[in-house]
A and B are shown apart, each in its own frame.
Chain A
Amino acid sequence: MSYVRGTLAALVDAIVPETPELAALGEEHVPGGLDAGLDELLHERVNQLQEADGGVWGALGYDTVPLGPLVAALLDVAALELTLRGKRESGFQSPESAFSVGPYSWLAPRDRLRAVRMLESEGIVPRLAEDNENLGIVQYIAGATVVLVQFCYYTELTGDGEGSQGWTQAGYPGPAEGYAVSMGYEVDEFEEDDY
């Protein structure tokens, strides 16, 4: 497992974990994002966020800026900041085998999300961004990772295109041609009323 993928895996796992506790709802509710390759989907999207329009990356032959390592490093920085500021609420945990060895992977799941908050609004990066707008993109990317994880998980992207673990867990049958669910009209026509 690469450093980048392993760090993103720790984020994915904090958002959509495996949940043996939900077996009572049905076995299909147990697997989490890592079982569905969600870390890979996130990695792919993070690396597609920005086109390498010439510049160093373009010269090196990249079409897009490989932001994955940057995001992973930022999560590690945020993990350290959370720890140094005494805002961690749980002790370090040995990382799962799918995670990286960086500090972010040692955080308990909720602390991993608190670390995201450091990047968005509480930590040093947002503070510096007040004077240097370019850093604000970190706040954007931090929030976007959480959104992307949730979006990808509950679409067909985590499956074979026809269905997915997320759809199954939500009870969504996939696109349909239609549904006969009309109950008539609360209002037949709007009127051109006075104003």
Chain B
Amino acid sequence: MRERETDVVVVGAGGDGPALAWRLGELGIDVTVLEAGPFYGNEQWPAPREAPGGESSSDPSDLSGDRYDEQFTAKEGEMNDLIMGKLRWGPADGDRPAWARTVPQQAIVAQLAGVGGTTQHYYANHPRAFVGSVDDQPDWPIDYADLVPYYQHLEATHPIRPAPTTPKAELFFEGARRAGYDLTTGYNVTEEGYRPFPNAILQPDERLARDGDYDGDFGDVEGDTLAAHEHQGGPHPRGSDFEDRARRSSNVSLVPRAMETGHVEIRPNAFVTEVLTGGGTGDPQATGVEFRDTWAGTCERVHADVVVLAAGCIETPRLWLDSGLPDNGWVGKGMTTHWFDFVAGVFDPDTLEGTIGQREVNPHQGQAAGSRLDVPGVGGIAVNTFAPGITSMAMYGGGQGEFWFDRDTAGEPWDTAGRVTGRKLKELMSKYRRTLTLICHTDDRPRRENGVSLDFDTEDEHGPVPLVKFQPHPEDDARRDELAERAARLLREVGAEHVHRADAAPILLHLQSSMAMGRVLDEGCEAYDVDRLFVADHSALANGVGGANPTHTGQALALRTAETVAERYFDGVTDPIGGRTAPATADED
């Protein structure tokens, strides 16, 4: 078996792993990042779905905008098919099926493999955690103030800016105003109010004004082209360098920075199957990992001073449990999902003309999600728009319970609810361009019943597959109902002629807190029960950050964890982002 050594080995190049790798690289620490999925937009892998390609990449000149353009077509079937699409939880090899997970209930799981992880199709919404979710809820062992410098660092880096107003956002804002909400303008959310999303998307070129006269082909603009293709991979503007793409998914924004440090190597197509441990009589100590090449099927080992798990909320606990590491009862548990729901409003052309000066909403134009309403303690409501395949799937196909025709909505704030089918579906979808879709992100709370364990009856080439369960608590249901009611009211206020509530079955798309700090990890995100083993993905978050989109907090925490790794096991940090000394090890506490 091939064996290698490095300073730090990171499992997963998803949303958060690259943030940690970048910071470690800046501190002069050598990092190998092992990623199970493909590396799109890289010269080493000219046909990532068809052939093994190169082995690893550490040279930023490997990154290629041309390859990204070829591979990311922005077609939703080709990109987003959860089973056969380019963006899926599965091996690079397009002829093989997706990797198995056992989900013994009605649910949709949307987690991706590949460099960039699930951010490859994220909407780049980067709000901070709601202040109260960190300081008032019982979960976090650190204060909100500890996160702020890291948030600021990312806000300047990606960068993160207020989303531009587009017609669909204006429709939402007007609904919010009429429903009596105030505009808020701060980063730190403590009060109810509506605002543009803080987005990690470069601002659009000023020429792209609705009342302007731009008639080019968008090949001559910098920044966002308002093409609304975030979900399909968000590769615009075409023709620009890889790292200049407007939507700042971690592969575009953080991976190039990590590689620029000269200390970070990324090895895709490498599925980690075991955390290696050693040590004497005390707690086990992580010493490296074993991985399987997803093309060749061969296994290799990387030995390191520190191991960081950044495989996401499902695979990090799965790897932990498959490796036989100690379980204090919270490993994989306490998972939050924002217990999503969707509410849509369909408008007639005259109403739209009067409100936004055009006769269609045009959900396929402008940033996919650019405006939101914060309801601290309950969650958030955001404009969330998609191309028609995902619209139909999320709004009309993913509900729980009875189909629409078996539901009595008399007295409800919506006209239809549940899964819509048949003629009604086709009628509603024929009004796609006059529909505004809103997502409700519930501030669901960690519960030990929810999360990940192993399904010993189903094994794949990497071991027993994860068994994933999520059931909301009645209080989470109540918060979600409240959000759906507020969303319906907002849509009615601005004149929706038909309101539909999806009553969505669990959608495992925002996942948090399955390896939470304070329960499995200490204040520095090092495991209580395994030395030199850290977690740097959303599973380390202590809760669902109030219902705010989680990646800003996940990445902020990952930066902080990188500094803790350097403090505890390397030469320390002379200039910490947080301007603090990292917390002592659990042993020294």
List chain A positions with a Cβ less than 8 A from chain B.
Answer: 14-17, 19, 21-22, 25, 29, 32, 44-45, 48-51, 53, 63-64, 109-110, 113-114, 117, 120-121, 129, 133-137, 139-140, 142-144, 146-157, 161, 166-167, 169-195
CB of A84, distance to nearest CB on chain B (Å): 19
Cα–Cα distance between A144 and B107 once the two chains are bound (Å): 8
Beta-carbon nearest neighbor of B246 in chain A: A178
* Contact bitstring B403-443, A, C-beta under 8 A = 1, else 0: 10110000000000001011101110110110000000000
A-B contact count, CB below 8 Å? 284
- Cross-chain contact A136 with B104 (CB below 8 angstroms): yes
Give the contacting residue for B106; candidates A113, A120, A151; CB below 8 A. Answer: A120
The contact sample of 12 A-B pairs, CB cut-off 8 A, is: A51-B96, A110-B403, A110-B405, A110-B422, A120-B106, A151-B397, A154-B388, A155-B80, A175-B232, A176-B364, A187-B195, A195-B131
- Cross-chain contact B165 with A29 (CB below 8 angstroms): no
- Cross-chain contact B393 with A147 (CB below 8 angstroms): yes
Q: Chain B residues near A53: list those with CB within 8 A.
A: 459-461
B570 within 8 A of partner (CB)? no
Q: Quick check: which of B210-218, B250-258, B493-501 contacts chain A, the rest being far away? A: B210-218
Known pairs A147-B398, A157-B77, A167-B388; A22 contacts B426 (CB<8 A): yes
User: Which B30-59 residues sit within 8 Å CB-CB of chain A?
Assistant: none
* Contact bitstring B431-463, A, C-beta under 8 A = 1, else 0: 011000000000000000000000101011100
Known pairs A53-B459, A177-B238; A185 contacts B187 (CB<8 A): no
Cα–Cα distance between A160 and B381 once the two chains are bound (Å): 36
- Cross-chain contact A194 with B75 (CB below 8 angstroms): no
Give the contacting residue for B185; candidates A17, A63, A190; CB below 8 A. Answer: A190
- Cross-chain contact B73 with A175 (CB below 8 angstroms): yes
- Cross-chain contact A185 with B164 (CB below 8 angstroms): yes
- Cross-chain contact A186 with B104 (CB below 8 angstroms): no
- Cross-chain contact B402 with A117 (CB below 8 angstroms): yes
CB of B75, distance to nearest CB on chain A (Å): 5
B84 within 8 A of partner (CB)? yes
Q: Chain A residues near B467: list those with CB within 8 A.
A: 133
Given contacts A16-B421, A180-B210, 13 further A-B contacts (CB under 8 A): A114-B403, A121-B401, A133-B104, A134-B104, A136-B104, A139-B106, A152-B81, A169-B426, A169-B429, A170-B433, A177-B236, A182-B366, A186-B195
- Cross-chain contact B210 with A183 (CB below 8 angstroms): yes
Give the contacting residue for B422; candidates A109, A121, A172, A180; CB below 8 A. Answer: A109
Known pairs A180-B226, A187-B195; A194 contacts B397 (CB<8 A): no
User: Which B145-204 residues sit within 8 Å CB-CB of chain A?
Assistant: 152, 161-162, 164-167, 169-170, 173, 183, 185-188, 190, 195-196, 198, 204
- Cross-chain contact A184 with B164 (CB below 8 angstroms): yes
Nearest first, the 8 A-B pairs at minimum CB distance are: A136-B104, A178-B225, A193-B186, A150-B397, A155-B389, A155-B77, A143-B106, A157-B77
Give the contacting residue for A170; candidates B103, B226, B432; CB below 8 A. Answer: B432
Known pairs A16-B425, A50-B97, A186-B183; A177 contacts B131 (CB<8 A): no
Known pairs A25-B430, A183-B170; A150 contacts B100 (CB<8 A): no
B83 within 8 A of partner (CB)? yes
- Cross-chain contact B173 with A186 (CB below 8 angstroms): yes
Q: Chain B residues near A189: list those with CB within 8 A.
A: 161-162
Cα–Cα distance between A139 and B103 once the two chains are bound (Å): 9
User: Interface size for chain B: under 10, 10 to 19, 20 to 34, or 35 or more residues?
Assistant: 35 or more
Beta-carbon nearest neighbor of A122 in chain B: B402
CB of A105, distance to nearest CB on chain B (Å): 17
- Cross-chain contact B426 with A29 (CB below 8 angstroms): yes
- Cross-chain contact A170 with B429 (CB below 8 angstroms): yes
Beta-carbon nearest neighbor of A175 in chain B: B74
- Cross-chain contact B77 with A156 (CB below 8 angstroms): yes
Give the contacting residue for A177; candidates B186, B225, B390; CB below 8 A. Answer: B225
Q: Chain B residues near A129: list those with CB within 8 A.
A: 104
Cα–Cα distance between A28 and B335 once the two chains are bound (Å): 45
Cα–Cα distance between A136 and B10 once the two chains are bound (Å): 33
Known pairs A51-B460, A154-B392, A184-B165; A178 contacts B227 (CB<8 A): yes
* Contact bitstring B58-84, A, C-beta under 8 A = 1, else 0: 000000000000000111111011111
CB of B90, distance to nearest CB on chain A (Å): 9
Cα–Cα distance between A170 and B395 once the two chains are bound (Å): 14
B221 within 8 A of partner (CB)? yes
- Cross-chain contact B81 with A157 (CB below 8 angstroms): yes
Beta-carbon nearest neighbor of A190 in chain B: B187
- Cross-chain contact A152 with B422 (CB below 8 angstroms): no
B108 within 8 A of partner (CB)? yes
Q: Chain B residues near A173: list those with CB within 8 A.
A: 364
Give the contacting residue for A179; candidates B76, B105, B208; CB below 8 A. Answer: B208
CB of B152, distance to nearest CB on chain A (Å): 8
Beta-carbon nearest neighbor of A45 in chain B: B83
Q: Chain B residues near A32: list those with CB within 8 A.
A: 426
B466 within 8 A of partner (CB)? no
- Cross-chain contact A172 with B432 (CB below 8 angstroms): yes
B362 within 8 A of partner (CB)? yes
